[in-house]
Amino acid sequence: GENAFENCNKLTNFTIPDKVKELTIDKYAFRDCKSLEAFKIPGSVKELTIGENAFSDCTKLTNFTISGSVKELTIGKNAFWNCTNLTNFTIPEGVEKLNIGGVAFYGCESLKDFTIPGSVKELTIGENAFENCNKLTNFTIPDRVEKLTIGKWAFQGCTKLADFTISGNVEKLNIGEGAFDGCTKLTNFTIPDKVKELN
């Protein structure tokens, strides 16, 4: 439930049993767990919802692992806000519907690699989702995505982002106000030929 483990400062490890199929990590569930270093979602989970502020301020969290059986993934607002040591966040092959909420990875200043798998068809990146992720160097939208929404200020202040690749199959593209504001290294941004609706 909400606030379930909030401020559990000594919690280093949390294990979810292997039979769980649907998993919701509620609002503020692990917020401010300053000792939590790793979190793993087991292979049985098909639907995963990470609630608002669920891991915000988990400043020791370096690795968040999602199993390969998840099909629908929702990452709530502020979910990993200020997780300053999070270096690797991998969304596994198999996820078809991906929703990254507003401010979800704001201030994740160690995040170098964010991989969206080739199985994703529908992708929404919320407002300020990756703001101030100043180690993020490239971001690729995979081939199956046809509908893409990039919210306002989504990549603002990503000062190392050099390459943003949108696959050739995107037909509906919506880029919000200030989405790439301050991305001073961005050298390559290509809008694919198939785009029929562009906002």
- DSSP string of 2-28, one letter each residue: TTTTTT-TT-------TT--EEEE-TT
How far apart CA 127 and CA 117 sit, in angstroms, is: 21
Quote the CA–CA distance of 186 and 25 in Å, as a whole number. 35
pLDDT tens for each residue of 40-82:
999 999 999 999 999 999 999 998 989 889 999 999 999 999 9
Residue 23's pLDDT is: 94
User: With helix as H, strand as E and coil as C, how does 154-176 read?
Assistant: CCCCCCCCCEEEECCCCCEEEEC
**Token pair for residue 46?**
């098909």
Residue found under tokens 């969304």: 91
Type of residue numbered 48: L
Query: Residue 41: how many CB atoms within 10 A of its CB?
Result: 21
Contact 45, 21 (CB under 8 A): yes
Q: Count Cβ atoms within 10 A of the Cβ of residue 111 and give its class: 0-12 exposed, 13-18 middle, 19 or more buried.
A: buried
pLDDT, position 190: 83
* Residue 122, token pair as written in the block: 């529908």
| pTM listed for this prediction | 0.91
Q: What is the mean pLDDT of residues 146-172?
A: 94
Tally of CA atoms within 13 A in the half-sphere of 175 that contains its CB: 15
Question: What are 72-98's pLDDT values in tens digits?
Answer: 999 999 999 999 999 988 888 999 999
Structure tokens at 171: 């037909």
